[in-house]
Structure 1
Amino acid sequence: MLTLLCMSCVSVIQSLFKWLSRMWRFIIALSSKCKWLVAVIKAVTGPSSSGAETALTSSNTKPSLRLILLGSPGGGRTSLADTLMGNSETRASMGPIMESTKQGTVVDGRKVTVIDTPDLLGPSLGNNNRAREALRCLQLTSPGPHAFLLVIHAPCSSMGINHNAAQAIQSTLELFGDEVMQYIIPVLTHADRLDQRYTVDHLLDVDAGGLKRAVSLCGQRPELLDNRADRLPEAQSVTRRQLLGRVMEMKKLRGHFTHELQRREDCMREELLADMSSALARKLRHM
């Protein structure tokens, strides 16, 4: 009697597995014919942050760009961040920011992340806050930025504001280390205050000390920009694509920047993971 009962249970289980197998094949076949359903669901439910949607859409997006804006107050850093984001209203009138802020947008199908920073290159924050914000802006671009846009007044346009490009690069090196030199793009702002005959080459001759030395240090030709907030959207779009094109070139050449402390943190994390794995393996052996 017991034998017959066991045989009956086995038969029921086998039948159940066969039914589940047929259902699974049916679902796979149906899903392959109804890919249009994914688009309909996305249109109805809107954007989602789930990993499933990321996997579905990643093949249709271009590699992202991550950049950090550096510069002294009054140099046009925040106005440039608004231009890169396509914001119609500038935040510069709200006064200097006190901590790094992260913004994101999509340009030509490419996700762009822009980090606007406080006065990291000057003494106003104090050494402790400067160090904290320097590391924080790197965390906001994890695993690392593709470029640092060093925003300074164009020579002859400062209206009494003294921005030394070479000193700004030296301050950047102090914060992020020597390797950051390969990721710096100087951006000269307030081109609207210059005579139309002024070009980058002319400005390099005018400011032969600071600007020319800065260019020789980072090896990158400056960008001369008019980043006024009231410019036509078409002009802002040209500026945006011009700068992002430079960042894309740098990304293709060097990848993303990684701070020495980030590498040290990664090593510590790997060592901790190895220790935890060994401890767990020993525990399992004794179970």
Structure 2
Amino acid sequence: MEIILAKRAGFCFGVKRATQMAFEAAEKGGETYSLGPIIHSPQVVNRLEEMGVTVLKSLDDLASGTIIIRSHGVTFEELEEAVRKQLEVVDATCPFVKKAQENVQSLSAAGYDVVVVGDADHPEVQGIVSFAKGKVYVVGSGDEAARLPKMKKVGIVAQTTQSFENLKLVVLECLLKGGEIRVFNTICDATSVRQQEAMTLAREVDCMIVIGGYNSANTKRLAEVCAEFQPRTHHIETAHEIDPAWFEGVNRVGVTAGASTPKWLIDEVIERVRDFDCTKTT
């Protein structure tokens, strides 16, 4: 049985940057907190907690200390509150997310009604939306965009992990809604490249393993993309979830991982799969 690991499996630039900043802050000691999980990897969050980084849901009861802003970003109001309380802020917001926030802020200031393409319940989207001071809508698909009201000026941005195809569908619908439209393609290149690579790999193997947090939007999307081409696709968080029955009659196993999945988790999965047969990794 052969294991083929996707070239771009694991940490993207923004997540690698955020985790490095978080661990550096933890190593300094003192009262250190993160506003929400730093990334969507429970295993990484647990390691930071072991180093003394406490995950907070809000800043309500925090009077002092260091606060780490997660890679997905936080709301405009939460940032203001951290400054007002004179907390030491380590802003680990992904630069691509930060750009989406800035685009929403500038569009709103210029009088555009803003449409954010993404998952309304995702913390990244909740943060992006908060930078609008006028009307703002969140839509997850072209069908949802079709139900938007008529608008004079429409500004569109996307959650960084959205597919380009979905963004196009929303833009097409918005063309029917407004006289003037501005679109910022805020999708992270790493996301689209990773998805394309996963699709190609899924076509070439007998089984796909997708590693990443169940709360990770980009990992869930990777699993969905792979399942379209390889029904024997399994989304897991850790090696302990692997079922030996998945590999019956399998000659080639594909492995990929979400942008919040650390290398050590990927290595553990590969070693676990190796236990079921004499395998090689390419």
- Alignment TM class, shorter chain as reference: under 0.3
Larger radius of gyration: 1
Answer 1 or 2: which has greater helix percent: 1
Answer 1 or 2: which has greater strand percent: 2
Give the TM-score normalised by structure 1: 0.24
